[in-house]
């Protein structure tokens, strides 16, 4: 703005200076009063009427233009007449190309419009999808595809569509972030690293309806893995015909799932209607799912719910109070992820010292954090890296192999701290860097921990607040002593958590190295005996507690309100969530 | 006049280039990068991604390539919305922000001028005191509070009448626009009211108005030609930057009312370090702001004969 000319700067300067002078000084306004002013009063009135008129006219004019960009008039939360439900989406799905999608929202949409070899049912069991049945042994998996599964253009879904999608995902040029999830397939890693041609991938279409997969190593959970979106099929000639725009708009996608996207106005609306080519269409009750609002504002979504415009609204600590006042029925579910304090185990860091970590571990009380600080129903105190919903040999893993018992013990904590001080030769210890996200929830938690460490251990902690990407950058570079971190599952096997602290895992951002833990991870990866695998996970669980690798904080829950007429919505930790495929509108 | 315009435009281009350069290097200096995600990626995948987005080249080279593409009008592909070009994002979402902005500024301008004149007319009387109290509220309360309160009021209004009088959120029809544009324009309107009031008070006691009055001119003529026209000048001065501020600053209102405007993408891009979108929206908004300031300066010459543009 340094380019403003001297002329106009002078003019505006004059006007403003004059205005300030008058506002501050008493003037002889008395002389201005009189008959002349009276006329101006009514003139003002007429002018205001004209002004309002002009405003309304302008709005009407602009409304014609804006209809091209907006979601249009949305219906009621549930409309039994048309079989439509209306919902709000927290954000625009960033990527609907299943080979490259990485986020939850894209996964949620893809789970409704696509179908993989298998899918999850309402009890979170793996059930047939495009594949009717399958056999998996040590070196090979064979999937037999149903012959009535069709794309939305009416052509059949074949084994070739899976081979093409998987090859695309591991191809280096695709640069798929989730290519690693295909690594159990023979040569997938080598292809992805550019060492082998894409045709070397161990997946072949024996015929149109038989898919044979050669495995890199024995894998006991491959049936669960193929439920993941990266394993969804893509029709080759359609994909190639989109010229790099596959998934960008409704017409740039071919659907084989229960629904198809009918209308997608970026940032405003995404409307899915029942896919009449879907093989199990008789089981789908809803005609349309209309995400008519795209906003991450929890309060706005709750207002829409109150107004009867959306059928489901998630709650946070602030809106929860509002919902309680309305006496709405709250529903809660565990979203599957685990949150914890992760230590930096790099040798140059103080937290490399086990005694210091044990001292900190012994003053931390997850129950206090969950019930007194977070105070949002649905969250449960963290006890282990492995969340409670994971299945073990027969029942739940955590029932078969309970988490190590944890109790706050300040006296013992001080013993550990004294030893740590001696080993480190530092008294007092310099402040520890506590890396945290920059949002109200993270602030609350990091300040709570700061206070706990100070009052119970006399340990000074410096909070380093960073926005998401910066926090990740600092975690990766190891610029922290402790960090508030979390982990969400990719598939329904304990290994999705179990290999997190293996020395080779890129997500092991605290750089924890322990050959013993690595050995157990290898057992869990390649054994086909459930008992053996679960035993390995239990050993990992014990090491993580004994060595204070992380301090579990909570298993994240989610609270939401639902229109009572909308039934059959499935919430789950792994897979499409929320899942409306089996939802229906009850008679009200 | 033409010479002046050309000089201003050249200065404007230099300003925009400066904005682009500063943003480019500041953005790359921030720790982290757009390829970083919740789940770590392997070296190979990272290399592939870097090659795809041209991040594997040295920064000065990236800069030259970027400026070159920018001159061709190509802002690149978004990192976060991987299938959409930044040009598409601006094309699809700026009109929404612009419509919202135009409505808000019209509302603010009309309201500001009317209320300003009104308070000046009834100086130190009831209407003045009430309006000026509201004005102070309007200036000091941030727009996200108004947005939340406005939406809360709509919910209760609809509940009271038992039917949908006005939609609580969304975009697309006339009824969707009313609440957000009022909320967005409120702060500016309050500010303009104050400006108009003091400007009007200065004008009504000036010599030429007294002269006009003593000549016996009709009150309508005095009011419209001598008072209003002259008092509006300072309002016009701030209108240009206000238009830019309102169209770019609608982020919270867009979020609360679920409006698909560009402001949301602008703020999200910064949070996600979406390099191409940060650059595209910053350069676009920067150019828009510079352009509006030039337009206002030119307009000034038309309204105020005392200002000569050379």
Tens-digit pLDDT profile for residues A41-85: 677 777 777 877 887 777 777 776 666 665 555 688 999 999 999
What values do phi and psi take at A460, rounded to 5?
A: -90, 135
Question: So what's the pLDDT on residue A256?
Answer: 96
Q: List chain B residues with CB under 8 Å of A35.
A: 219
CA of B120, closest CA in chain A: separation in Å? 10
Which pLDDT tens digit goes with each residue over B224-272?
788 888 888 888 778 777 877 787 668 888 888 989 988 888 888 888 8
In degrees, rounded to 5, the angle at the alpha carbon of residue B180 between the alpha carbons of residues B179 and B186 is: 90
Measured in degrees and rounded to the nearest 5, phi and psi for residue A148 equal -105, 10
**Cβ distance of B205 and A39 shorter than 8 Å:** no
pLDDT, residue A23, reads: 34
CB distance from B282 to chain A under 8 Å? Answer: no
Does B302 score more than 80 pLDDT?
no
236-275 of B, contacting A, C-beta below 8 A: 237, 255-261, 264-265, 271-273
In angstroms, rounded to a whole number, what is the distance separating the alpha carbons of residues A427 and A418? 9
N-terminal to C-terminal alpha carbon distance within chain A: 61
- Are the C-beta atoms of B263 and B246 separated by less than 8 Å? no
Over its C-alpha atoms, chain A yields an Rg (Å, rounded) of 30
* Residue-by-residue DSSP string for A159-219: HHHHHHHHHHHHSGGG--TTGGGGTTBTTHHHHHTTSS-GGGSSEEEEETTEEEEEBSS--
Is the N-terminal amide bond of A505 cis, ω within 30° of 0? no
**Bridge pairing between strands A461-466 and A432-437:** parallel
Written as six digits, the tokens of B151 are: 């939406």
Residue B81: the pLDDT is 81
CA distance B296 to B288: 12
Pick the residue of B4, B83, B91, B158 with the most A CBs within 10 A to test the interface with A by mutation: B83
Q: How confident is the model at residue A18 (pLDDT cuts 50, 70, 90)?
A: very low
Q: Phi, psi (5° rounding) for residue A123?
A: -100, 15
User: What is the arrangement of strands in the sheet containing A210-214, beginning at the earlier edge strand?
Assistant: A131-136, A140-145, A210-214, A203-207
Mean pLDDT of the region B298-303 = 77
Which residues of chain B have a CB within 8 Å of the CB of A295? 169, 255-258
Residue A11 has pLDDT above 50, yes or no: no
> Do A506 and B41 count as a contact with CB atoms less than 8 A apart?
yes
Residues of chain B with pLDDT > 70, as a percent, come to 98
Nearest to A491 by CA among A114, A188, A230: A230
- Dihedral class, residue A49 (left if φ above 0, else alpha if ψ from -120 to 50, else beta): alpha
Say if B103 is an interface residue toward chain A (CB within 8 Å): yes
A250 touches chain B (CB under 8 A): no
The structure tokens listed for A65 are 């233009």
> What pLDDT shows up at residue A167?
97
As a whole number, the mean pLDDT across chain B is 86
pLDDT (0 to 100) of residue A483: 96
Task: Using only the alpha carbons of chain B, give its radius of gyration.
Answer: 24
Which residues are A332's β-sheet partners?
A: A559
Confidence of residue B222 (pLDDT cuts 50, 70, 90): confident
- Helix residue spans in A408-459 (DSSP H): 410-424, 440-457
Judge whether residue B2 has pLDDT over 70: yes
Per-residue pLDDT averaged across B158-169, rounded? Answer: 85
Name residue, tokens 């004005």.
B135
Give the number of other Cβ atoms within 10 Å of residue A198's Cβ. Answer: 16
B298 pLDDT above the threshold of 70: yes
Lowest mean pLDDT: which of A34-43, A290-299, B13-22, B82-91? A34-43
Rounded to two decimals, the ipTM of the complex is 0.86
Three-state DSSP class for A263? strand
**3-class DSSP assignment, residue A316:** coil
Distance CA A434, CA A464 (A): 6
Interface of A with B in 192-211 (CB under 8 A): 192-194
pLDDT value at B308 more than 80: no
A468/B contact by beta carbon, under 8 A: yes
Q: Is A13 a residue whose pLDDT tops 50?
A: no
Tell me the residue length of chain A.
588
Task: With a cut of 60, say whether residue A9 has pLDDT above it.
Answer: no
The strands making up A269-274's β-sheet, listed across from edge to edge, are A78-79, A84-89, A288-294, A269-274, A259-265
Tell me the residue length of chain B.
310
> Minimum mean pLDDT among A376-380, A461-465, B133-137, B215-219: which range?
B215-219
3-state secondary structure of A220: coil
Would the pLDDT of B42 be above 80? no
| Contact criterion met (CB below 8 Å) for B31 and A474 | yes
For residue A252, what is the nearest residue in chain B, using CA coordinates? B83
Task: Name residue A260's beta-bridge partners.
Answer: A273
Angle, CA A69 vertex, CA B70 and CA A111 arms, to 5°: 95
Interface probe, candidates A14, A33, A44, A337, chain B, greatest B C-beta count within 10 A? A44
Band the pLDDT of A28: cuts 50, 70, 90.
very low
Q: For residue A162, what pLDDT is reported?
A: 97
Residue A572 phi, psi dihedral angles, 5° rounding: -150, 160
Whole-number percent of chain A with pLDDT over 70: 91
- The superfamily (CATH) of domain B86-282 is MetI-like (1.10.3720.10)
Partner A contacted by B208 (CB < 8 A): no
Cβ of B48 within 8 Å of Cβ of A172? The answer is: yes
Each residue of A285-336: pLDDT tens digit? 999 999 999 988 899 999 999 999 999 999 988 889 888 888 999 998 888 9
Contacts of residue B216, Cβ cutoff 8 Å, sequence gap at least 6: none
Dist. CA A375–CA B191, nearest whole Å = 41
Q: Are strands A550-562 and A380-381 parallel, antiparallel or unpaired?
A: antiparallel
Q: Is the pLDDT of residue B89 over 60?
A: yes
Q: What ranges make up the beta strands (E) of B22-89?
A: none
The answer on pLDDT for A21 being more than 50 is no
- pLDDT value, residue A263: 93
pTM: 0.85
| pLDDT, tens digit, 9 for 90 and up, residues A569-585 | 999 988 899 999 999 99
Instruction: Tell me the C-alpha to C-alpha distance, in Å, between residue A219 and each of A128, A139, A222, A495.
Output: 19, 8, 6, 11
SS3 B229: helix
Residue A274 burial (CB count, 10 A) = 18
Q: What CA–CA distance (Å, rounded) separates A119 from A127?
A: 5
| pLDDT surpassing 90 at residue A402 | yes
Cβ-contact A260, A53 below 8 angstroms:
no
Give dist(CA A570, CA A324) in Å, integer: 23
Using an 8 Å Cβ cutoff, are B143 and B183 in contact?
A: yes
Contact between A387 and A336 (Cβ < 8 Å): yes
* C-beta separation of A188 from A170 below 8 A: yes
CA A213, distance to chain mean position in Å, is: 30
The two tokens of residue A40 are 């101006």
Quote the pLDDT of residue A2.
37
The whole-chain average pLDDT of chain A stands at: 88
Backbone conformation region of residue B303, classed left if phi is above 0, alpha if psi is from -120 to 50, else beta: alpha
Query: What HEC string does A379-399 produce?
Result: CEECCCCCCCCCECCCCEHHH
d(C-alpha B159, C-alpha B156), whole Å: 5
Least Cα distance to B289 among B15, B5, B7 occurs for B15
**Contacts with B, A 279-318, CB within 8 Å:** 292-297, 299-300, 303-304, 306-307, 309
Residue B295: band (very low, low, confident or very high) from pLDDT cuts 50, 70, 90:
confident
What's the rounded mean pLDDT across residues B190-207? 90
What's the pLDDT band for B139 if we cut at 50, 70, 90? confident
Q: A59 or A183: which carries more pLDDT confidence?
A: A183
Q: Is B128 on the interface with A (CB under 8 A)?
A: no
Report the candidate in A219, A232, A131, A145 with the shortest Cα–Cα distance to residue A576: A232
Phi, psi (rounded to 5 degrees) for B189 = -60, -45
Of A268-272, A289-293, A463-467, B202-206, give the lowest mean pLDDT range: B202-206
Q: Which of A178, A142, A162 is nearest to A236 (CA)?
A: A162
Q: What pLDDT is attached to residue A579?
A: 94
**CB contact (8 A) between residue A62 and residue B177:** yes
Q: How far is B163 from chain A (nearest CA, A)?
A: 9
Q: Would you call A36 and B33 a contact, using CB atoms and an 8 Å cutoff? A: no
Q: Is B160 helix (H, G, I), strand (E, B) or coil?
A: helix
Q: pLDDT by residue (tens digit) across A188-206?
A: 999 998 899 999 999 999 9
CA A57 to each of CA A45, B141, B244: distance values in angstroms, whole numbers, following the listed order: 18, 29, 23
Q: Residue A43: closest CA among chain B residues belongs to which residue?
A: B220
Q: What is the pLDDT of residue A41?
A: 65
Residue A244 reports pLDDT greater than 90: no
Q: How far apart are CA A254 and CA A76, in angstroms?
A: 29
Query: Would you say residue B289 has pLDDT above 90?
Result: no
Option in B8, B181, B204 nearest A32 (CB):
B204
Interchain CB distance below 8 Å, B36 and A469: yes
């Amino acid at each position: 703005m340094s380019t403003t000319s001297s002329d106009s700067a002078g003019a505006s300067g004059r006007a403003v200076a004059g205005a300030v002078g008058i506002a501050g000084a008493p003037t002889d306004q008395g002389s201005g009063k009189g008959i002349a002013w009276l006329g101006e009063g009514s003139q003002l009135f007429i002018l205001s009427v004209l002004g309002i008129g002009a405003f309304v006219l302008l709005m009407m004019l602009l409304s014609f233009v804006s209809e091209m960009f907006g979601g249009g008039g949305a219906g009621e939360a549930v409309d039994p007449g048309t079989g439509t439900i209306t919902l709000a989406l927290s954000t625009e799905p960033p990527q609907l190309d299943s080979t490259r999608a990485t986020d939850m929202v894209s996964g949620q949409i893809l789970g409704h419009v696509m179908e993989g070899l298998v899918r999850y049912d309402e009890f979170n069991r793996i059930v047939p999808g495009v594949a009717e049945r399958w056999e998996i042994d040590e070196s090979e998996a064979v999937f037999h595809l149903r012959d009535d599964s069709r794309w939305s253009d009416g052509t059949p879904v074949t084994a070739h569509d899976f081979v093409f999608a998987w090859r695309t995902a591991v191809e280096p040029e695709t640069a798929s972030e989730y290519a690693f999830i295909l690594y159990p397939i023979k040569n997938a890693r080598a292809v992805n690293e550019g060492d082998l041609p894409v045709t070397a991938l161990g997946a072949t279409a024996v015929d149109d309806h038989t898919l044979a997969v050669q495995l890199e190593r024995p894998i006991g959970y491959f049936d669960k893995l193929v439920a993941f979106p990266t394993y969804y099929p893509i029709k080759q000639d359609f994909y190639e015909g989109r010229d790099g725009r596959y998934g960008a708009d409704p017409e740039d996608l071919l659907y084989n799932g229960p629904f198809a996207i009918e209308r997608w106005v970026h940032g405003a609306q995404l409307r899915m209607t029942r896919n009449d080519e879907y093989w199990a269409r008789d089981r789908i009750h809803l005609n349309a799912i209309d995400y008519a609002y795209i906003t991450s504002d929890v309060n706005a979504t709750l207002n829409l719910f109150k107004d009867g415009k959306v059928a489901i609204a998630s709650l946070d600590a602030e809106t929860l109070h509002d919902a309680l006042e309305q006496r709405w029925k709250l529903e809660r579910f565990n979203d599957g992820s685990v949150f914890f304090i992760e230590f930096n185990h790099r040798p140059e860091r103080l937290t490399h010292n086990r005694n210091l970590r044990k001292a900190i571990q012994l003053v931390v009380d997850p129950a206090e954090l969950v019930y007194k600080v977070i105070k949002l129903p649905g969250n449960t105190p963290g006890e282990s890296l492995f969340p409670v919903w994971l299945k073990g040999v027969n029942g739940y893993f955590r029932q078969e192999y309970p988490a190590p018992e944890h109790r706050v013990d300040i006296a013992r904590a001080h013993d550990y701290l004294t030893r740590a001080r001696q080993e480190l030769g530092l008294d007092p210890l310099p402040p520890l860097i506590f890396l945290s996200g920059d949002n109200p929830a993270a602030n609350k938690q990091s300040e709570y921990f700061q206070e706990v460490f100070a009052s119970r251990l006399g340990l000074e902690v410096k909070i380093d607040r960073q926005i998401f990407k910066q926090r990740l950058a600092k975690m990766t570079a190891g610029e922290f002593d402790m960090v508030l971190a979390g982990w969400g599952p990719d598939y329904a096997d304990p290994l999705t958590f179990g290999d997190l602290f293996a020395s080779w895992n890129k997500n092991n951002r605290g750089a924890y190295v322990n050959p013993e833990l690595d050995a157990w991870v290898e057992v869990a990866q390649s054994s086909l005996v459930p008992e053996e695998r679960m035993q390995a996970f239990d050993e990992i669980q014990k090491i993580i507690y004994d060595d204070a690798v992380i301090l579990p904080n909570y298993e994240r829950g989610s609270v939401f309100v639902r229109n009572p007429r909308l039934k059959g919505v499935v919430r789950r930790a792994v897979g499409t969530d929320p899942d409306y495929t089996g939802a229906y509108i009850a008679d009200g | 006049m033409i010479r002046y315009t050309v000089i201003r435009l050249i200065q404007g281009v230099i300003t925009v280039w400066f904005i682009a350069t500063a943003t480019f290097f500041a953005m790359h200096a921030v720790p982290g990068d757009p390829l970083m995600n919740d789940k770590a990626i392997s070296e190979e995948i990272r290399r592939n991604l870097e090659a795809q987005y041209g991040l594997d080249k040295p920064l000065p080279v990236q800069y030259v390539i970027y400026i070159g593409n920018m001159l061709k009008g190509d802002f690149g592909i978004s990192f976060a919305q991987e299938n959409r070009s930044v040009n598409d994002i601006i094309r699809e979402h700026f009109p929404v922000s612009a419509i919202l902005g135009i409505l808000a500024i019209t509302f603010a301008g009309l309201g500001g001028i009317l209320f300003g004149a009104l308070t000046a007319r009834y100086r130190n009387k009831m209407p003045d005191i009430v309006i000026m109290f509201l004005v102070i509220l309007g200036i000091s309360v941030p727009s996200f509070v108004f947005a939340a309160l406005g939406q809360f009021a709509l919910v209760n209004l609809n509940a009271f009448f038992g039917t949908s009088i006005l939609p609580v959120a969304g975009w697309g029809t006339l009824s969707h626009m009313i609440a957000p544009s009022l909320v967005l324009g409120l702060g500016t309107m309050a500010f303009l009211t104050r400006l108009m009031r003091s400007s009007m008070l200065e004008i009504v006691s000036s010599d030429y108005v007294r002269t006009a009055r003593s000549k016996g001119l009709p009150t309508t003529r005095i009011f419209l030609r001598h008072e209003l026209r002259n008092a509006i000048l300072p309002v016009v001065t701030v209108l240009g930057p206000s238009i830019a501020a309102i169209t770019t600053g609608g982020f919270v209102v867009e979020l609360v009312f679920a409006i698909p405007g560009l402001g949301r993408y602008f703020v999200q891009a910064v949070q996600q370090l979406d390099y191409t979108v940060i650059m595209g929206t910053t350069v676009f908004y920067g150019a828009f702001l510079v352009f509006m300031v030039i337009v206002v300066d030119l307009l000034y010459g038309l309204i105020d004969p005392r200002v000569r543009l050379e």
